[in-house]
Structures are given as C-alpha cells and as structure tokens.
Amino acid sequence: MPVAVRIRLSILMLLQYFTWGAWYVTMGTYLITALKANAVQVGAAYANLSVAAMISPFFVGMVADRFFAAQHVLGVLHIIGAGVLFWLSVVPGFNGFWWLILLYTLLYMPTMSLANSISFRQMTDAGREFPSVRVFGTVGWIIAGLLIGSLGIEATALPFRIAAACSLLLGIYSFSLPPAPPVRKKVTLSDVIGLDALVLFKDRRYGVFFITAISICIPLAFYYSLANPFLNDKGMVNAAGKMTLGQVSEMGFMLLMPFLFSRLGVKKMMLLGMGCWIMRYVLFALGNNETGAWMLYAGILLHGVCYDFFFVTGQIYTNHKAGEAVKSAAQGLITFATYGVGMLIGSYVSGFTAQLYSSKAGETIHYHWASIWLVPAVISGIVLIFFACLFKDHHHKN
C-alpha cells in the first residue's frame, strides 16, 4: 500500500473515532447534569447505540455494498450526522434528545463498517497493514478525551458541537478518499447477519463462548455509561482526559497479545480478562478521589486487559473456529450478539441498577456508587465461573 494512501486512511480513522469519542464518554454526565435525566434514561440513551449496531449491518450489506461507492455513502452519512449532532446540543429535554441520539447512532454505526471496508479495499495484506492504520482510531479517541477533559466541558453541550464539526469535516474529506465502488452482488439476509456461521454451534465449546460473550457485555455497559459520571461525582479533575489512559492501556496490551496468546491459550486469556473486570469494578466500589485515587486510576488502566484479553481473543478464536468458508459471517454474528444484544441488555441493566441505588435530596440525586459497582463485579464473577466450568480448552490451538 503506498505511503500516501496509508496517510489518507490513517486520517480517516483518526477523524472517525474522534467524532465518536468526543460525545460518547461524557454523554452520561451531560444528561444527568444538564438535562436532569435519571439513571434509567441514561441507560436508555446508551442503549440506542446497540440498537443501531444491530440494524446497521442490514443497511451496509443490503444497500451500501450493492448500489453506492462506500466513500460517498460515508461522506453523506457524516454530513447528515453533523447536523443531528448540532441539533442534539440545543434540544432542551430528554425525550427529544433520546429520539435524536437514536437517529444519530443509526447514521453513525454504518460508517464503522464503511471506514473498514474502504481501508481493506486499498490493502494487499490486511492482516499486516490494517492494525497500523486502525491504531489512529484509538489515537483519535484519546485526543478527543484529552481535549474535552482539558477544556472542562464534560457537563455541557459543547462536546456534541465539537463532534459535529469533526463529523462535517470527515464528511467532506470522505469524498476525497480512494475509490471503493459498489460490489453489486446479490446479498441475502443470511449473509448480512451471519446465519451461515450457525454451523459453529455444533461445537459445544463455541456455544459456551457465545453465551459468555453476550453475558460479559452486560457489565461492560456499566463502564461505558457510568464511569464518566462516577469519576466526575468523585471529584476527579479532567475525568474524560484521564479515562483515555484506558485506551493507552488497550494499545499497550494489544502489542503483548501475540506473545501471551501463544503461551496461555484461549481459556486462560479470557479468564484473565474477566478476572480483571471483577478487579476493576471492585476498585471502583472502594476508590475515591481523596484517599483511594490510585484505585480509580487502576480501574481505568485495567480497561486494556479487560477489552483485549476477552474481545480480541474472542475474535481470534472465532476466526480460527470458522475457517475460510464462514469467516466473515462468524465475525458479523459475534458483533451482532455482543455490541448489539449484549450491550443493549447491559445498557438498561446499568440504568436500572444506578436508579435503584440512588436517593434524592431536594433537586440533587445522590448515587451510591459502591453498591452500583458491586453489581457488575458480581455479574462478571458469575460469567467467569460459567465459562471456567463449561469451556474445555484443547490448548491454544483451538
């Protein structure tokens, strides 16, 4: 792949994930502080991203891939999305906000697949070339968090406007990307949602992994929707910026993955990842910004192990089990199940849990964070025990 193309695709990934990171991390804080939303409503807002994750494959597979150049669709979606993001920054109440965030996520989620598709179409060896391009997405997310946090605007509507400006820039930039013309092939419903991959469930171990993957997304949703409001409530300065330490950790552990995977195997890697999930939530339950600030930082830094050792290992395992025949279908199915079904359930569970462990004094709502964080810790523990007992690892080759 020519250096000029690599640079253009790296800029694409940086802007793609900057747009997402600018509003996603702090949305819960904004809803609670500015729109006076309760925890259930925060969970419902985050759940919209999961709804969009389940719907977007239909759009990309049945429409975008067949009739239009991917870079043109990407540009149109981001330009329209910029308008919706700005609208989100001025809507006065939660009900209007909920419908708009649903509309925006329906526009944004297809762009994830489209950005990947545009990149893959320019590569001769995606396995070697894509990681060095995709890492700029993580860089974009980190820059967004540092910017929002350093400006001290986490509880305001400004992150949505910053995201809108970036989305507009990316929309215009998309039309200059290398061409990715439509495939113009017949695509079936089975192709889109990965039904061909159901053959994997003939292996009982994969069924255990699949159930585990959906279940572990429930405690994951607690981190995404509640961590920023929690850290701000604890008095952490520049919480959004400091949460980017999780992405730095993710990049670091990604480099260690090949070394550790070959020595530990699938089961030990996943158990280690889930064990760190329990540790993270216990640290959050016990930590505070005065005497236990190190616990809060440790909980953030554990994100790299939590995410990489379970999700990346799971993607590798799925890729190996599927083989060439149903590889794409298998990845589509696991993404649909985790970021769609699992995160949808988790978003609502986190919202109802936070609402359950809250109290109101006048106009102020107090959240009992120690009790809230113990819930995902317990769920993670139950999932870990289920996986440890039922998944029989035939060493790392399987």
User: What pLDDT, in 10s, does the model give residues 42-73?
Assistant: 999 999 999 988 887 666 656 665 677 888 98
pTM assigned to the model: 0.84
What does the pLDDT average to over 263-267?
85
What's the pLDDT at 254? 78
Domain 1-185 falls under CATH 1.20.1250.20: yes
- % residues pLDDT > 70 (the chain): 90
258: pLDDT strictly greater than 50: yes
More confident residue, 10 or 265: 10
Confidence of residue 195 (pLDDT cuts 50, 70, 90): low
1-185 with 188-398: one CATH topology? yes
Among 42, 27, 47, smallest CA distance to 345 is for 47
What's the pLDDT at 398? 45
CATH superfamily of 188-398: MFS general substrate transporter like domains (1.20.1250.20)
pLDDT in tens, 125-150: 766 787 788 889 889 999 999 999 99
Q: Which token pair is 246?
A: 């999780």
The domain segmentation of the chain, as residue ranges, is 1-185, 188-398
Top-ranked range on mean pLDDT: pick from 57-71, 92-106, 292-306: 92-106
pLDDT in tens, 330-372: 767 777 888 889 999 999 999 999 999 998 877 778 899 999 9
264: pLDDT strictly greater than 90: no
What does the pLDDT average to over 379-388?
95
What's the mean per-residue pLDDT of the chain? 86
More confident residue, 133 or 91: 91
